């Protein structure tokens, strides 16, 4: 049973959950009418035969517009995770957090959209932690098909969420480090 002043931890999948591409997920903390949010990834998906004339599709962030967004945390540099930042940033303004390789590519993207001056882009070391009270977000190294793929351990007063991002278990990755099994085990 909940009441209007009770803190809750909620997950809001606006894109990319149960579908490929266009990742935009958010976590909210607080009572129903006074939540603080973090956004994880802001990606695109690409048009195909079913969407004639449409090259790129972005998620719909309407639900989050005007909300208290503490930060936008990017897991890795694939277009389906960062590709919509240029188009959607004005609607979900908040500081960005990414590891160095991802941040480099985001910077280029923001420049293309003339946003480089307006956006606070914070570089976080691999394995680093971002404090977005009441969220504490720690980057967890995983393996995938690009440099610096990360999962996120999202700690809150109501529990910890492991947001995996895109991953596979690969003990001999072509780029980057092996999945940080010790960190994940410790979370468990």
Task: Kindly state the number of chain residues that form the binding site for Zn ion, as judged by CB under 5 A.
Answer: 2
Among 51-59, 72-80, 167-175, 176-184, the segment contacting Zn ion (CB under 5 A): 72-80
Among 30-38, 109-117, 154-162, 165-173, the segment contacting Zn ion (CB under 5 A): 165-173
Distance (Å, rounded) from C-alpha 131 to C-alpha 125? Answer: 14
| Beta-strand relationship, 121-123 and 96-98 | parallel
Q: CB 57 → Zn ion: shortest distance, Å?
A: 17
Helix ranges (DSSP H) in 31-122: 79-82, 85-88, 100-112
Q: CB 143 → Zn ion: shortest distance, Å?
A: 11
Which residues are within 8 A (CB) of 38 and not within 5 positions of it... i.e. 6 or more apart? 26, 27, 69, 70, 71, 72, 73, 132, 135, 137, 154
Using rule CB under 5 A, residue 78 touches Zn ion: yes
Please say which residue, 166 or 180, places its beta carbon nearer to Zn ion: 166
- With CB under 5 A as the contact rule, the residue among 166, 173, 176, 179 that binds Zn ion is 166
Residue 179 DSSP class: P
Among 12-20, 35-43, 59-67, 76-84, the segment contacting Zn ion (CB under 5 A): 76-84
Please say which residue, 80 or 180, places its beta carbon nearer to Zn ion: 80
Backbone angles phi, psi at 160, to 5 degrees: -115, 135
Distance (Å, rounded) from C-alpha 32 to C-alpha 166? Answer: 30
Q: Sketch the per residue contact string, 117 through 156, with Zn ion: x for CB under 5 A, - otherwise.
A: ----------------------------------------
Residue ranges in contact with Zn ion by CB under 5 A: 78, 166
């Amino acid at each position: 049973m909940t009441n209007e002043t009770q803190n809750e931890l909620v997950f809001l999948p606006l894109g990319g959950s149960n579908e490929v591409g266009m990742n935009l997920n958010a976590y909210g903390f607080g009572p129903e009418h006074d939540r603080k949010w973090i956004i994880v990834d802001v990606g695109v998906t690409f048009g195909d035969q079913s969407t004639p004339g449409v090259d790129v599709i972005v998620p719909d962030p309407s639900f989050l517009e005007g909300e208290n967004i503490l930060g936008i945390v990017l897991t890795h540099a694939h277009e389906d995770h960062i590709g919509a930042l240029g188009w959607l940033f004005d609607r979900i303004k908040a500081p960005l957090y990414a590891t160095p390789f991802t941040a480099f590519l985001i910077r280029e993207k923001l420049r293309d959209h003339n946003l480089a001056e307006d956006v606070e882009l914070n570089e976080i070391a691999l394995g680093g932690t971002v404090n977005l009270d009441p969220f504490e977000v720690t980057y967890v190294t995983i393996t995938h098909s690009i440099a610096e793929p990360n999962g996120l351990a999202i700690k809150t007063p109501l529990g910890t969420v492991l947001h995996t991002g895109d991953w596979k278990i690969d003990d001999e990755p072509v780029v980057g480090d092996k999945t940080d099994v010790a960190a994940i085990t410790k979370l468990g």
